[in-house]
Amino acid sequence: MEHFTSDLCEVKFANGAQDGTFSGYGSIFGNVDSHGDVIEKGAFKESLRAWEAKGKLPPMLLQHGGFFGPVDDMLPIGKWNSMEENSKGLKVEGQLFALGTDRGQLIYEGMKAGSLDGLSIGYRAKKYTVGTKPTDPSRTLHEIDLVELSVVTFPSNDKATVGAVKSADIDALKTLSDFEDFLREAGGPRWTKNTARDFVGRLTKIARREAGGDLDVTGLLEGLRSTRKLISPNQA
């Protein structure tokens, strides 16, 4: 099962919603996720129809069930009351369980405070197109099997940025692929695979142009490492 997390997904509690009901978007159409995938409008249509035939909707989990965590992590934290596609994405409405318990109240307060501030789908890709150009998404998902929809925590650590990376980390980069992976990991979800590739490609062209086109691969990599002030402005 795969996961699609978008920093554009959101949850909102109505004013005075003491019963834990909330709404938001589990997925945004046309938005590239941290893996370079994009979901197109209509991708949920068949899956939602299949769930409707079962008389229920996908489970509401916390952090996708915690993967290999305790059994309690796999217990639903609430119930989705409605799911529908509109022009923006997958609009959902749900209600949290067990607000009278410590765990239920913690989740509720975390969501209201914005610490648990996102939604993320668990799915299986059924029909998709693989990108063929550097500017294309890694995959465009045309039809997916929606397995679950989780309340998740989005990274908000200010240190998870390119500017906080140590010089030694940059010196360890050996290939252009290393640079792309470095940017994606250091920059967080905002640095997609395509963004990192385009950045490195642009930097490569600049380095070769300034060297008069005579730069070999070793010299190119050294030139890229020497741009640490651009990649990591806090480093010398």
Share of the chain above pLDDT 90, in %: 25
Residue 122 near residue 1, CB atoms below 8 Å? yes
Which backbone phi and psi does 54 adopt, to 5 degrees? -80, -10
Across 118-133, average pLDDT: 89
209 vs 185, which has greater pLDDT? 209
pTM for the full predicted model? 0.62
- From CA 224, how far away is CA 231, in angstroms rounded? 9
Both 88 and 142 in a single domain?
Answer: yes
Both 184 and 71 in a single domain?
Answer: no
- For 146-163, what is each residue's pLDDT tens digit? 999 988 876 322 322 233
The set of residues, in sequence order, having a beta carbon less than 8 Å from that of 145 and lying 6+ positions away, is 47, 50, 123, 124, 125, 126
Q: How many domains does the chain divide into?
A: 2
Domain boundary among 104, 134, 152: 152
pLDDT above 60 for 234: no
CB atoms within 10 A of CB 141: 22
Both 30 and 114 in a single domain?
Answer: yes
221 vs 50, which has greater pLDDT? 50
Show the domain range for 15. Answer: 2-152
Both 169 and 143 in a single domain?
Answer: no
Across 198-217, average pLDDT: 67
Both 76 and 147 in a single domain?
Answer: yes
pLDDT confidence of residue 40: 94
Both 188 and 90 in a single domain?
Answer: no
pLDDT confidence of residue 201: 74
pLDDT confidence of residue 17: 53
pLDDT band at 69; cut points 50, 70, 90: low
Rounded to the nearest integer, the mean pLDDT of the chain is 75
Domain boundary among 107, 131, 152: 152
